[in-house]
């Protein structure tokens, strides 16, 4: 629980800095996207800390490329 609180506080502090610095430079679109990415990362971290079933991109790639990589790896590992 402490880890989640620390993580949230760190993300909030970073968000504040992004909000103020980019606002001062009138970089409003940059600020919006930066906060969106920060929110994604924070949710991912909290999901991991809470041991939620977070989707893993390596699994997506394995599934997409399995028709290609499995025969090649099968050939490479044959006879090892």
- Of 6, 48, 50, 52, which lies in the binding site for other proteins, with binding defined by CB under 8 A? 48
Residue 8 lies near other proteins (rule: CB under 8 A): no
Residue 45 lies near other proteins (rule: CB under 8 A): yes
CB of 9 to other proteins, least distance (A): 13
Query: What letter does residue 26 receive in the DSSP assignment?
Result: T
End-to-end CA distance of the chain: 47
Residue 6 lies near other proteins (rule: CB under 8 A): no
Residue 9 or 21 having the CB closest to other proteins: 21
Cβ–Cβ < 8 Å for 45, 7:
yes
């Amino acid at each position: 629980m402490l880890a989640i609180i620390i993580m949230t506080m760190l993300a909030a502090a970073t968000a504040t800095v992004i909000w103020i610095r980019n606002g001062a430079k009138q970089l409003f679109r940059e600020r919006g996207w930066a906060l969106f990415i920060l929110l994604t990362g924070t949710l991912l971290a909290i999901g991991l800390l809470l041991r939620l079933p977070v989707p893993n991109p390596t699994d997506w790639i394995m599934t997409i490329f399995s028709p290609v990589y499995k025969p090649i790896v099968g050939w490479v590992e044959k006879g090892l």
